[in-house]
Structure 1
Amino acid sequence: MPRLALYTFGVLKSPLADPTPLTREFYERGEAVYRKISRHPGYLARAEPAGDDRGVLFGADWGAWGEFAVPTWYDKGRTAETTALAATLSLWTDLRPVFDAIYTGLHREALNRRYDWFERTGHANYVCWWVSDEEIPTWQDGVSRLEHLNDHGSAPHAFTFHHSFTPEGTPTRTVGAPVAPTRPL
């Protein structure tokens, strides 16, 4: 049975290593959100670095999720001191569970604060696509699909909740998802 892959990407206003309270708050909320989402019905897995690579993005061992990659429009640092981004790659059973996890509870509260932490880039900041049940999406898959969504809009290959597709490629609408532009907020 196909599973849903979700890639998210945002450019932070300051590097992850920034010691200010706002950056610490972002980290603290992020950890709480990850814990909550990992227990959400329909959640299967997310990319996590192996061993001692926690907090490292570039150069970390991501196992089957592949080498860490970012969209071409990311133009900030790539070292531990200068990286200014947040990205996730996860697997879900279907559209509805991930939509519910993102737009309710702790994650919804964090979304309401996103412009405290993230720059407004004018680019799509998430993308969904279907994978076979034995497939593990890679960071490069996520980047390629996000760039495709940004350049061409929603299609069965790369879509949003607002303009989504079934595994067979038929347009569908996630219940509760407002009809919106192809570029999510």
Structure 2
Amino acid sequence: MPHLALYTFGVLKSPLADPAPLTSEFYEIGAAVYRKMSRQPGYLAHAETADGDRGELFEADWGAWGEFAVPAWYDKGRTVETTALAATLSLWTGLRPAFDAVYTGLHREALNRRYDWFERTGRPNYVFWWVPDGVTPTWQDGVSRLEHLHAHGAAPHAFTFHHSFTPDGTPVGIKEVGPKSGQVR
């Protein structure tokens, strides 16, 4: 059975290394969100560095998740001191579990504060796509699909909650997704 890949990308207002309270607050909330997400029904895995260091992105060993990549339009720093981005790559059993995890609880609270931390870029900040069972999506997969979504809109290849598709490419709304099962009715 296919799994749902989710790539998120945001440009932060200040570098991750910024000692300001807002940056440390973002880190603290982010760590708590990761812990909570990993216990959500339907959650399968997320990209983590081999050594567990979240401070280094571009030079880190991401194992099967591939080399870290960002969209071509990201124009801020790429060193530990200058990187000003937040990106995630995760796997889910389906749309409903991902929707429930993103739009409830602690993650929902963080979403409500996103403009405290992130710049408004006018570009999509997340993208979904289906992957065959046993396949680990890569950072480059996420970047190329986010860029495709921005350039061409939602399609079975790259989509959002509001313009979703089943694994076979049939358009589906989030309301049509079965309750917490990830199965389409």
Structure 2 unaligned spans of 5+: 178-185
Q: Distance in 1 between matches of 2:51 and 2:121?
A: 32
Partner of 2:112: 112
Alignment root-mean-square deviation, CA: 1.2
Q: Report deviation, 1:176.
A: 8.7
Q: Distance in 2 between matches of 1:142 and 1:24?
A: 26
Query: Which residue number corresponds to residue 103 of structure 2?
Result: 103
Q: What is the aligned partner in structure 1 of residue 149 from structure 2?
A: 149
TM-score with structure 1 setting the length: 0.94
1:88 is paired with a residue whose SS is: strand
Taking the aligned partners of 1:35 and 1:51, their CA distance within structure 2 comes to 17
Give the share of equivalent positions with the same residue, in percent.
80
Alignment pair present for 1:15 and 2:15: yes
- Rounded to whole Å, the distance in 1 between the matches of 2:82 and 2:55 is 12
In the alignment, structure 1 residue 25 sits paired with structure 2 residue 25? yes
Gaps of at least 5 residues in structure 1 are 178-185
Aligned to 1:56: 56
Residues matched between the structures, number:
177
Indicate the residue corresponding to 2:47 in structure 1.
Answer: 47
Helix, strand or coil for the counterpart of 2:136? coil
CA contact (8 A) 1:5 1:91 kept: yes
Could you say which residue in structure 2 is the equivalent of 1:171?
171
Structure 1 residue ranges, 4+ long, deviating more than 2 angstroms after superposition? none
Aligned to 1:86, the other structure's residue is in SS state strand
Does the 8 A contact of 1:99 with 1:161 survive in 2? Answer: yes
1:86 matched to 2:86: yes
1:62-93 Cα deviation digits (max 9, x unpaired): 00000000001100000000000000000000
C-alpha deviations, 1:99-128, integer Å up to 9, x for none?
Answer: 100000000000000000000000000000
Q: Give me the whole-angstrom Cα distance separating, in 2, the residues matched to 1:35 and 1:53.
A: 15
Compute the displacement of 1:51 (Å).
1.3
SS at match of 1:175: helix
What TM-score comes out, normalization by structure 2 length?
0.94
Deviation (angstroms), 1:52 = 5.5
